[in-house]
Chain A
Amino acid sequence: GQSLEQPSEVTAVEGAIVQINCTYQTSGFYGLSWYQQHDGGAPTFLSYNGLDGLEETGRFSSFLSRSDSYGYLLLQELQMKDSASYFCAPISSGSARQLTFGSGTQLTVLP
């Protein structure tokens, strides 16, 4: 079967660092993606981890541990514009390479 867990809400202040955790159970796991979505907007791709370890893209980093079925998104130097929902999306293997989206984590950045 498949399951996906991430916190529903996280609050932090401007300039801080926040980590959003994701645990998954995915048949034929291939990799893990992260997406950002502002209220009413389209989801936008942030990062992809196919291998264990840390991927860094500017202020955002994403980590994957296949053996623990765990990943996280790290946001540094938080800005007000980072207030959004963040989704982890495990990808299944096979030709379909389907992404499964969880319910997301609502991040609120306070001044």
Chain B
Amino acid sequence: DADVTQTPRNRITKTGKRIMLECSQTKGHDRMYWYRQDPGLGLRLIYYSFDVKDINKGEISDGYSVSRQAQAKFSLSLESAIPNQTALYFCATSAPTSGSPGELFFGEGSRLTVL
């Protein structure tokens, strides 16, 4: 089983719908992240969390919200999806104090299409 699991892996929805992407991890890491990847634009950070009570905005948080339900679970919500939120979304975890400072562990991604 994957250490970082994202659900759903693929989702097609319509403009205005509420969407939740879920991420769970078995690595025991405190830090969790949500990234978005668009073709040719690399990965951009949406939100990150250092523990259940510590949630921070990344560079492109507008239109998104998150919830850290437990150390192992970090969800990303799009309250009212719009077509330019069509992208590949990645969840990641890290433990910089016990591993390499620059090492993130990524899930397999959730491909979201907003029509």
Contacts and interface: CB of A to CB of B under 8 A. Distances in A.
A91 B56 contact: no
Given A42-B108, A42-B109, A102 B103 contact: no
Interface residues of A, number: 25
B101 A91 contact: yes
A23 B58 CA distance: 22
Interface size class of B (residues with CB under 8 A): 20 to 34
A87 B44 CA distance: 12
Nearest to A43: B106
Nearest to B58: A98
Interface in B64-115: 90, 96, 100-109
A33 interface: yes
Contact of B90 (A43, A50, A98): A43
A104 B48 CA distance: 22
B48 A87 contact: no
Interface of A: 30-33, 35, 40-45, 48, 50, 87, 89, 91, 95-99, 101-104
13 contacts: A41-B108, A42-B90, A42-B107, A42-B109, A43-B106, A48-B102, A48-B103, A87-B42, A98-B45, A98-B48, A101-B42, A101-B44, A104-B42
- Which A-B residue pairs are the 9 nearest by beta carbons? A33-B102, A48-B102, A101-B43, A42-B106, A101-B42, A45-B103, A103-B42, A48-B100, A43-B106
